[in-house]
Amino acid sequence: MDNSFFIFTEKNKPVQIERFHICTWEFNNDSSLVEFGFEVAKEYITSNQLSISVFIPWFTKSCEVMDLYDKLSIAENSRFIFNDSISTTNSLDGGRNKLGVIHKFSDRNELCVIPVTIDKTSDKLVTATINLQPYIDYDSAEKPNVYFRFWIKPKIPYISMRKKGISKSTIIYDIKVNERRNIPDDKVVFFSDKEFCKIKSCFSFNILPNKYDIVFFDNSSLKNVRTLEFDSFNKYLGDKRVKKDELIVVFNKKQNSESFSFFSIYSKERIGPGQFALAILINIVCGVLLFIPAYRKTFVPEISLLNVWKVLPNEIYIALGIALATLIYFTLPLITSQLNKGWLWLLSKIGYKK
What pLDDT band is residue 351 in, cutting at 50, 70 and 90?
low
Q: Is the pLDDT of residue 339 over 60?
A: yes
pLDDT at residue 132, rounded to an integer: 96
Q: What is the per-residue pLDDT across 150-166, written as a single tens digit (0 to 9) for each?
A: 999 999 999 999 988 76
Query: What's the pLDDT score for residue 272?
Result: 61
Q: Rounded to whole angstroms, how far apart are CA atoms 131 and 127? A: 13
Residues 220-231, mean pLDDT to the nearest whole number: 93
Per the prediction, the chain carries an average pLDDT of 89
CB atoms inside a 10 Å sphere around CB 8 = 20
Q: Distances in Å between the alpha carbon of 354 and those of 62, 146, 256, 318?
A: 16, 40, 49, 46
Across the range 2-29, mean pLDDT stands at 95
Condensed to tens digits (0 to 9), the pLDDT of residues 175-218 reads 999 999 999 999 999 999 999 999 999 999 999 999 999 999 98
Q: Which residue has the higher pLDDT, 353 or 57?
A: 57
- What's the pTM? 0.79
The full set of domain ranges for the chain reads: 3-269, 273-349
Report residue 354's pLDDT band, with 50, 70 and 90 as the boundaries: very low
For the chain, the straight-line distance linking the first and the last C-alpha, in angstroms and rounded, comes to: 31
pLDDT at 353: 47
The tens digit of pLDDT for each residue in 133-149 reads 999 999 887 899 999 99
Which own/partner contact pairs does 184-191 have at CB distance under 8 Å and 24+ positions apart?
184/57, 187/55, 191/6, 191/8
Question: How far is Cα 80 from Cα 276, in angstroms, rounded to an integer?
Answer: 44
Mean pLDDT of 17-39: 95
Give yes or no for residue 1 having a pLDDT over 90: no
* CATH class of the domain defined by 3-269: mainly beta
Q: Is 130 exposed, middle or buried (0-12, 13-18, 19+ CB in 10 A)?
A: buried
Rounded Cα distance between 256 and 181, Å, is: 19
Contact 254, 96 (CB under 8 A): no
